[in-house]
């Protein structure tokens, strides 16, 4: 009797759960039910004869065996993906228009473009890397096919990519957060971030003055680092020169931000579905 062999789908499920930190999160990333993902993990552990995850109240973490398996599983998945792209004789064609927030332009966008272009070289990509508050209207007007953007509540036809804490942030080198009225840096157009920032300051009875606006996260970060103002940022935008401001300093806790992938009609094509998968995987790796 020939021995059972590792199925690549088991390895992909393992990678998704490892990156998400939970079975439910991993199942969501590979578009499977939680029960199906759980069965695949149990089958994998049965084949190996040892657990690959430790279960706990907050999700799962890798065992020693899981840590050994992860780079090998990733190598197998990458090799298979590359092989499909190289051997495909009837590759996808057409064009896709995608939107990615500017704060992910360096960390995630190159991964998305490189991976998709390698597997689907005949699909033309038009990428908008900008302030994401404009993306929902661009989708509704048919100007984008897929877009990643931050929301307070999940819209229809969207998939959650990440949950991110948001903070009032100041410079570590300046005491601008102690000024009265408070100098504030905001995005230069209507969005729920801007509205929520002003509402929380007013509810806290904090006097403020908008002294700086920018169409990008990069611009708001620059103003905070320079000591011009405080601003509202997501956790992924924090860096060494910035410090979150606490309720004890007069800055209320802010609601969590949801990063979602929203799809327009163009995402229903084979190319659109392939791009959606690529985006989900890229953000999953970024989060891990």
Q: Are 32 and 13 in contact (CB under 8 A)?
A: yes
Cα gap 21→23, rounded to integer Å = 7
Q: Are strands 257-263 and 146-151 parallel, antiparallel or unpaired?
A: antiparallel
Percentage of residues of the chain with pLDDT beyond 90 = 48
Q: pLDDT tens across 124-158, in order?
A: 999 999 888 889 999 989 999 999 998 888 877 78
pLDDT computed for residue 1 by the predictor: 42
Task: Check pLDDT > 80 for residue 89.
Answer: no
Task: Provide the token pair at 124.
Answer: 């033309």
What is the SS3 assignment for 96? strand
The rounded Cα 34 to chain-centroid distance in angstroms is: 21
Q: Which of 239, 159, 223, 152 is nearest to 193 (CA)?
A: 152
Does the reported pTM lie above 0.75? Answer: no
Q: pLDDT tens across 13-55, in order?
A: 999 999 888 998 888 888 888 899 999 999 999 999 999 999 9
Q: Are 171 and 242 in contact (CB under 8 A)?
A: yes
Q: Are 133 and 232 in contact (CB under 8 A)?
A: no
Cα gap 137→132, rounded to integer Å = 10
Task: Check pLDDT > 50 for residue 227.
Answer: yes
Q: pLDDT tens across 152-199, in order?
A: 888 777 899 988 889 999 999 999 999 999 999 998 766 778 888 899
């Amino acid at each position: 009797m020939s021995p059972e062999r590792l199925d690549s789908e088991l390895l992909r499920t393992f990678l998704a759960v490892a990156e998400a930190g939970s079975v439910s999160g991993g199942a969501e990333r590979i578009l499977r039910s939680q029960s199906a993902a759980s069965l695949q993990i149990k089958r994998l552990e049965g084949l190996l004869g040892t657990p690959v995850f430790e279960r706990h109240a907050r999700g799962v973490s890798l065992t020693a065996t899981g840590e050994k398996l992860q780079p090998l599983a990733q190598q197998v998945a990458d090799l298979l993906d590359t092989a499909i792209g190289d051997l495909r004789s009837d590759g996808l064609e057409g064009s896709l228009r995608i939107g990615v927030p500017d704060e992910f332009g360096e960390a995630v966008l190159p991964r998305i473009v490189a991976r998709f272009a390698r597997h689907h070289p005949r699909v033309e990509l038009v990428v908008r890397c900008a302030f994401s508050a404009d993306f929902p209207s661009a989708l509704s007007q048919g100007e984008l096919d897929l877009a990643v953007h931050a929301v307070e509540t999940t819209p229809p036809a969207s998939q959650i990519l990440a949950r991110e804490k948001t903070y009032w942030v100041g410079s570590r080198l300046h005491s601008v957060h102690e000024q009265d009225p408070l100098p504030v840096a905001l995005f230069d157009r209507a969005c729920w971030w801007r509205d929520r920032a002003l509402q929380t300051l007013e509810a806290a009875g904090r006097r403020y003055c908008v002294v700086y606006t920018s169409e990008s996260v990069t611009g708001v970060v620059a103003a905070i680092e320079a000591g011009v103002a405080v601003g509202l940022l997501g956790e992924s935008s924090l860096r060494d020169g910035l410090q979150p401001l606490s309720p004890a300093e007069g800055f209320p806790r802010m609601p969590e931000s949801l990063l979602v992938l929203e799809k327009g009609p163009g995402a229903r094509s084979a190319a659109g579905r392939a791009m959606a998968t690529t985006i989900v995987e890229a953000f999953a790796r970024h989060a891990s």
